Structure 1
Amino acid sequence: MQPPRPKSDPPGVPARRAALKLLDAVLRRGLALEQALDSSTQGLAPNDRGLAHAIVAEALRRLPDLDALINSATRQPLPDDAKARFALRIALVQALALGTPGHAAIATVLPLVDGGPRKLVHGVFGTLSRQGVTLPEPPTLPDPVALRWHAAWGDQLIEDAERAIAAPPPIDLTLRDPGTVPELEGESLAPGHLRLAERGAIPALDGYAEGAWWVQDLAASIPARLLGKGAGTALDLCAAPGGKTLQLAASGWDVTAVDISESRLARLRENLERTGLDAKIVAADLLAWQPAAPADAVLLDAPCSATGIFRRHPDVLHRVRPSLIAEMAALQAQLFARAADWVAPGDTLVFSTCSLEPQEGEDQLARFLAARSDYAIVPVREDELPEGITPREDGTLRLLPGMLADKGGLDGFFIARLRRDTA
């Protein structure tokens, strides 16, 4: 979807033009928001790039409610991929959720459409503005997601997820040295953790340049925490962007980090250099690669649908389909089986996914244990976890959006710690 491009855009329009391209990339082409950001905002100043991202992220958080308003003001429903619908989403989310004055919201969007669609966009926006419409709080989940999660987790999860998506989540830091806390305002919810009180430019924060910390959601830090202090060699599989590698290295493990993506590993290399930590980095396909010898600890943060991180990446609510979940679950099963052979007898394997889909968590573990009698669950203890998080009866950990809601919430994760028999 290419909006018409005049010779010179009026001020404010380039950011909205980029937002239209970015929203189209996610909803029509199925790309991840972050994946499409560079190409959609090419040539923009940093402020305009940030604005385009903010507009689209907020539109994705509130898409069902934006579309309901649009549908209420049109005689015939607009196709989901109609340019006019995309333009109205961008105008309305600015006016109703981002605090942009209505006249500016529509004036910077109209140049993106022409002819009949331009008149339609102007008319629908004007009608809704005169009606004084508002967006519901909390936002509404897309129907397919709500149905899937309700079947898995029930009513409470839907309520919690809708509250969780209402605003961008807080920023969590993992400290390189838990005994050295940067001069930042925030709250510690676990050893070596700080949840910032306010959002801001990350590189400008105290301790960043010195490598005193890295950004990592509290939930994402738990899998590496369950391996404890370093006691030998550790494999971090599917390691990029590298937060868990940094944790393991800071805890004294001799770490080898493996990931298929060279570009994502570049970020890990940068963070290793910034923090002064050490790890061996391997760019390889885990379905073809194998270590020279078994490791004392293996962490498999398996590729998944990533629906558990919908607070930070609302695009997953709209582009993840059952077919992708099934595809990821099949890949996980292959990786799980291979990783299990790389653990030394008597040692530990941690399996985790940032997914709210049972197929990528509980069901995956059940299939693995049925096939591998040499593995058993090592129950996670409550004293290993942030206060307010409790392991399940079987010793695994299921993190859901409602947990620690009064502290800013958590991403969704499934985590299991396993030990291989010595026999």
Structure 2
Amino acid sequence: MTDVPGLPVRRAALRMLDAVLRRGETLDQASHAALRQVRSGPDRALGLAIASEVLRWKVDLDAVIDGATRQSLPADAKPRMVLAIMLAQAMRLGTPPHAAIATGLPLLAGGPRRLAHGVFSTLMKRGATLPEAPTLPRAVADRWGERASAIATGLAEPPPLDLTLRDPDRTAEWATKLGGASLMPGHVRLARGTAVENLEGFDEGAWWVQDFAASLPARLLGPRAGRRALDLCAAPGGKTLQLAAVGWNVTALDISKRRMERLRENLARTGLEATAVVADALAWEPPELFDAILLDAPCTATGTCRRHPDVLHRIGLRQIGEMAELQAALLARAVTWLRPGGRLVYAVCSLEPDEGEGRVQDTGLSPDPISAEELPHGIGPTASGHVRTDPGMLPGAGGLDGFFVARFFRPN
């Protein structure tokens, strides 16, 4: 049955899920190896979509499966995962049930195909459904507290496509040209599934792809023509481009040579300028102090769970603790590189308090509270003058990723 049309895509999805759930790999890492033999672009996208939907709805898919079996299948049983793949297609991706069966059962060659067929058919006859919003894993919901339910609602659909404009004064023009909407000057939002390279303005570097929440930290440094800014942990470069576009003299530093190549490509495409440095921020020393520092620190990235649902299952207290230690070390070095009177913005795309609020309690700098006037409609500062976004916010406008942002200054 190896020649069943569509089978390689489903086999790739199964391999991705195994790599994420059993070996703790990121979905991005797992997809490179799993999709190697899948040549078609649409087929590759389908394989990734199947795996993503299973991860996004896994708690609910498991509950549906358990409701149709006399004895609960082991959590890591292959039949459970194959059933989840079949159900995610039928219940979330619009795959006809007969096609889900034809491409799913061959994954259980030598295994309990009759069981899987029976359970799936029973659920389809019952008209089984998923809830309106995914159920978060218990440990995740406990960590995210009172916002967990709203965040889950924001995960029900993958995110739209956000663009940051090189020239904010042309926001209305580009929104009209691209058929999008804007949440703030310098931003255009398009429907998901848009082929980026085919959009007007790509070749001329008029914009770059950047989640709306990810654009907020650089905005909070403001325009400072000619003054020196450090974008720490900069790759792939969205925030560097933002700072360069409003006149900062930017030094962009990152430890990854490969990711810094992408930053250089983005600079060349947009015609913006920055000094790119490949170095370890824990060992590097700047030749002089900076007027502004943006530290978008490495983190667990749980705030990106809309587009990377693997974080719902890979990230736990151990990973959060490891990231918090690295963030503390980076922040301790960054504050020593700031001129008197200079600003520092600390940001993480994480929903974990230990990586956000708990990381900025004692920076050695003075707080520089963020005001409501600096933020888009629907997002306000916290009582401490920080910014905390999550996927449950801006529900009628397409939502946004989870970020924590805090701003400080060094007194003269």
Q: TM-score range by the shorter chain?
A: over 0.9
- Residues 351/235 of structure 1: CA separation in 2 closer, same or farther (3 Å cut): same
Q: Find the residue that maps to 1:256 and give its secondary structure.
A: strand
- Determine the structure 1 residue equivalent to 2:275: 280
Partners of 1:328 and 1:390 in 2: CA distance: 26
Q: 55, 62, 70: which one pairs with 1:60?
A: 55
- Determine the structure 1 residue equivalent to 2:395: 405
- Determine the structure 1 residue equivalent to 2:336: 341
Partners of 1:393 and 1:31 in 2: CA distance: 37
Report the AA paired with residue 43 of structure 1. Q
Partners of 2:64 and 2:4 in 1: CA distance: 28
Deviations along 1:1-47, whole A, 9 cap, x unmatched? xxxxx6x4321111111111111111111111112211110021211
- Determine the structure 1 residue equivalent to 2:7: 13
Instruction: After TM superposition, give the deviation of residue 311 of structure 1 in Å.
Output: 1.1
1:175-190 equivalences in 2 (<5 Å): 175-180=165-170, 181-182=173-174, 183-190=177-184
TM-score, normalisation: structure 1: 0.93
Partners of 1:173 and 1:38 in 2: CA distance: 25
Q: 189, 193, 196: which one pairs with 1:195?
A: 189
- Residues 198/305 of structure 1: CA separation in 2 closer, same or farther (3 Å cut): closer
- Determine the structure 1 residue equivalent to 2:405: 415
Q: 341, 361, 371: which one pairs with 1:381?
A: 371
Instruction: After TM superposition, give the deviation of residue 377 of structure 1 in Å.
Output: 0.9
Q: 260, 263, 269: which one pairs with 1:268?
A: 263
Q: 154, 158, 165: which one pairs with 1:164?
A: 154
Structure 2, unaligned stretches of length 5 or more?
none
Q: Assess if the C-alpha contact under 8 Å between 2:154 and 2:393 holds in 1.
A: no
Q: Find the residue that maps to 1:299 and give its secondary structure.
A: strand
Instruction: After TM superposition, give the deviation of residue 197 of structure 1 in Å.
Output: 4.2
Partners of 1:282 and 1:77 in 2: CA distance: 54
Partners of 1:9 and 1:241 in 2: CA distance: 40
- Determine the structure 1 residue equivalent to 2:86: 91
Q: 112, 115, 132: which one pairs with 2:110?
A: 115
Q: Find the residue that maps to 1:109 and give its secondary structure.
A: helix
Deviations along 1:146-193, whole A, 9 cap, x unmatched? 12212xxx1xx1221121000011111100111233311111111111
Report the AA paired with residue 223 of structure 1. P
Q: Assess if the C-alpha contact under 8 Å between 2:255 and 2:278 holds in 1.
A: yes
Report the AA paired with residue 101 of structure 2. I
Report the AA paired with residue 190 of structure 1. M
Q: Assess if the C-alpha contact under 8 Å between 1:14 and 1:48 holds in 2.
A: no
Q: Find the residue that maps to 1:17 and give its secondary structure.
A: helix
Partners of 2:71 and 2:392 in 1: CA distance: 38
1:343-382 equivalences in 2 (<5 Å): 343-366=338-361, 368-369=362-363, 372=364, 375-382=365-372
Partners of 1:123 and 1:239 in 2: CA distance: 51
Q: Assess if the C-alpha contact under 8 Å between 2:235 and 2:263 holds in 1.
A: yes
Identity of counterpart residues, as a percentage? Answer: 59
Q: Assess if the C-alpha contact under 8 Å between 1:185 and 1:197 holds in 2.
A: no
Partners of 2:158 and 2:298 in 1: CA distance: 23
Instruction: After TM superposition, give the deviation of residue 403 of structure 1 in Å.
Output: 2.3
Deviations along 1:321-359, whole A, 9 cap, x unmatched? 111001100110000000111111110111011111110
Instruction: After TM superposition, give the deviation of residue 284 of structure 1 in Å.
Output: 1.6
Partners of 2:50 and 2:33 in 1: CA distance: 16
- Determine the structure 2 residue equivalent to 1:78: 73
Report the AA paired with residue 379 of structure 2. I
1:203-214 equivalences in 2 (<5 Å): 203-214=197-208
Moved more, 52-61 or 263-272: 263-272
TM-score, normalisation: structure 2: 0.95
Report the AA paired with residue 26 of structure 1. V
Q: Find the residue that maps to 1:341 and give its secondary structure.
A: helix
After superposition, the CA RMSD in angstroms is 1.4
Instruction: After TM superposition, give the deviation of residue 265 of structure 1 in Å.
Output: 1.9
Q: 5, 10, 16: which one pairs with 1:22?
A: 16
Structure 1, unaligned stretches of length 5 or more?
1-5
* Residue 295 (str. 1) matches residue 290 (str. 2): yes
Partners of 2:192 and 2:75 in 1: CA distance: 36
- Determine the structure 2 residue equivalent to 1:220: 214
